[in-house]
Structure 1
Amino acid sequence: MVLTYLILTGSLEAIAIVLALSPGNFSIPFPASRAQDSEIKSGVFRSLSPPNPAPDTASTGLAEGIYLYGQSSKPDEIKKEYFVFEIRQSRVVGAFYLPRSAFYCFYGTSEQTQLNLTVVDSYDGSRSPYSVNLQQYYPISTLSDNDRRILGMCKAAHKQQVWEK
């Protein structure tokens, strides 16, 4: 939206500044049109069971901590779904996202290899139940600054539903 405004107003200096200040692995959730929103949503949620099953790496459950999982074993691949989350006392808060796109916060519980979640729509605030089988995703050991930023926003937005129960 900001970049569109700058392009329309013709401020080349401002465009250059915005582009220079945006690192390659930093995604900003710009408001999307409803058509783009449904495309992002269907991309993120269309295959909570990826076609290529990942190895069984979560068979014993997860300890408390912060995790990143994805459809790919490599972080930040375009058109691949990822989710970053924190677990404390079997409670979970985090976000689903596609790189360089919008993200959707979630909260819920963790049971062995299953996350039972409530996903919050970023645009209208509606909530939907989802279950995620961690065995169908790849764990990724390195979190980017952007992963931590997104997780921080979701933790702040939903701490009452998760930690203060």
Structure 2
Amino acid sequence: MVALINKSDRKRSYIWLFAFLNRIEKPLTAFFVTLGLMLVAIAQSHAHTIEPIAESQQIAVAPQSSLVSQHAENGVYLYGQSEQPFEMGSEYLVFEVVEDQVVGGFYMPNSSFDCFYGEVQSGQLNLNIISAYDEEVYPYSIALSSDDAIAGSEPQATPLQLVGFHQLDSLSDLDQQILNTCRADMV
């Protein structure tokens, strides 16, 4: 049988609960804020998948006339959506270019990463991303800025400048580990 609580008992329960919460407000608030931040980080790490680009989506491409002679300079590159390394919620990519062929990985701090391979061509970085979750391959392109490219008949190697990303100066141990893992996966 269900016991009914009368209004005065319910009111006393609310008053007691309110007094109790006031006594533990700061520790409880800190606990719930910490818990909330942890849940957001977990949700972001599990929600991060790179979807294929729909044909209807437009990607900014630099004008073709300035790209006639653009070739990527060989080397290792690190780019981020943020100018600061390892910023939560920002996406980063680390990759190596050898004769316009690209191998590397996308990652978010405290999350999994997806390897990719592709090439630099016609003012964009054309990638094939291998999903860490289902190992499906998705095409993806990133536009290249051509500020340093000079039109002409002789090819010039220039550092890559990705539209929407900031180039970062040095690789962390994590960046190097992701790059090494993705290189090994492509062999």
Does TM, normalized by the shorter one, top 0.5? yes
Measure, in 2, the Cα distance between the counterparts of 1:121 and 1:80.
Answer: 18
Distance 2:178 2:52 in 1: 18
User: Paired residue for 1:102, among 107, 112, 124?
Assistant: 112
Aligned pairs for 1:96-135 within 5 A: 96-111=106-121, 113-133=123-143, 134-135=162-163
Structure 2 stretches lacking a partner, 5+ long: 1-41, 54-66, 144-161
C-alpha RMSD of the superposition? 2.7
1:137 to 165, 168, 173: 165
**Which residue of 170, 173, 180 corresponds with 1:152?**
180
The residue matched to 2:117 in structure 1 has which SS?
strand
Q: How many residues align?
A: 114
Contact 1:104 1:121 in 2 (8 A): yes
Mind listing any 5+ residue stretches in structure 1 that lack a counterpart?
1-31, 47-58, 160-165
2:113 maps to a residue whose letter is F
Task: Flag the 1:81–1:36 CA change in 2: closer, same or farther, 3 A.
Answer: closer
2:83 pairs with 1:73? yes
The structure with the largest alpha-carbon Rg is 2
- In the TM superposition, structure 1's runs of 4+ consecutive aligned residues that sit over 6 Å from their partners are none
Instruction: Tell me if the contact between 1:94 and 1:155 (Cα under 8 Å) persists in the aligned partners.
Output: yes
The answer as to 2:49 corresponding to 1:41 is yes
State the Cα distance separating 1:123 from its structure 2 match: 2.0
1:44-82: CA deviations, max 9, x gaps? 989xxxxxxxxxxxx865310000001011111000010
Compute the displacement of 1:114 (Å): 1.6
TM-fit CA distance, 1:135 = 2.2
Using the alignment, how far apart are the partners of 2:76 and 2:101 within structure 1? Answer: 12
TM superposition shift of 1:40: 1.4
Q: Secondary structure at the match of 1:79?
A: coil
